[in-house]
Amino acid sequence: MKRYIVGITGASGSIYAKRLLEVLEAKEAEVYVTVTEAGRQVWNDELEVNIRQQLGDNKDSNSIIYLDNQNLSAPIASGSFQTDGMIVIPCSMATLASITQGHSSNLLERAADVALKEKRQLIAVPRETPLNTIHLENMLKLSKLGADIIPPMPAFYNQPETIDDLVNFVVGRVLDRLGVEHDIYQRWKD
């Protein structure tokens, strides 16, 4: 069974995280989820459903394990806890800056720091527009540290018709990078 960490922050685009979790759950992966305070607020606003109800109280799911972002003694805070990768989706510019600086002031940032120090896959899905020079420099720095930067930029060559199509394209590209098989978007010339 694959084991992933999903970190959700207060950038716009909670729907990307929701879709990613649905796919990983369907794949019966073990998924450790932690959400920043701003991430919780934006999720509740954008998806109009309480994130705790959707994730933490989902008794039917053996797959999603919800961790308090202030709990720095959670398993994912330690490098000895083996995982197959971490995805920060969506990734705010604030969390991007903290990860890039090795700040580790909450569980999400610490888990990302662990991924970098253990040379495990770290994928960031940074969302902001327009981007200032600090944002761009932080993305470059994170990329140089070995992380994958996958901005949520849907393509239009596959003729998307719905918001789901756009979301699936972005999440599909994250899954491609993780090496998880899926068919949630139509590939070029498929």
Taking CB under 6 A as the rule, which mask of x and - marks residues 131-170 in contact with ligand FMN? ----------------------------------------
The alpha carbon torsion through 144, 146, 152, 158 (nearest 10 deg) reads 110
Euclidean distance between CA atoms 142 and 39, whole angstroms = 21
By CB under 6 A, name the one of 4, 16, 20, 36 that touches ligand FMN.
36
Euclidean distance between CA atoms 20 and 55, whole angstroms = 13
Strands (E), the chain: 3-8, 30-35, 64-67, 86-91, 122-126, 148-149
* Smallest separation (angstroms) from ligand FMN to the CB of 165: 21
- Please count the residues of this chain forming the interface with ligand FMN, following the rule CB under 6 A: 16
Secondary element (H or E) of residue 22: helix 14-26
Residue 72 binds ligand FMN, judged by CB under 6 A? no
By CB under 6 A, name the one of 21, 24, 39, 166 that touches ligand FMN.
39
Q: From the annotation, which residues make up the binding site for dimethylallyl phosphate?
A: 157, 173
Residue 7 binds ligand FMN, judged by CB under 6 A? no
Taking CB under 6 A as the rule, which mask of x and - marks residues 80-119 in contact with ligand FMN? ------------xxxx------------------------
User: Which region, judged by CB under 6 A, interacts with ligand FMN, from 21-29, 41-49, 116-124, 169-177?
Assistant: 41-49
Both tokens of 76, joined, read 């994912």
* 3-class secondary structure, 156: coil
Q: Is 71 exposed, middle or buried (CB count within 10 Å of its CB: 0-12, 13-18, 19+)?
A: middle
Both tokens of 185, joined, read 């978007």
Residues forming contacts to ligand FMN in the complex (CB under 6 A) are 9-12, 36, 38-39, 41-42, 45, 92-95, 127-128
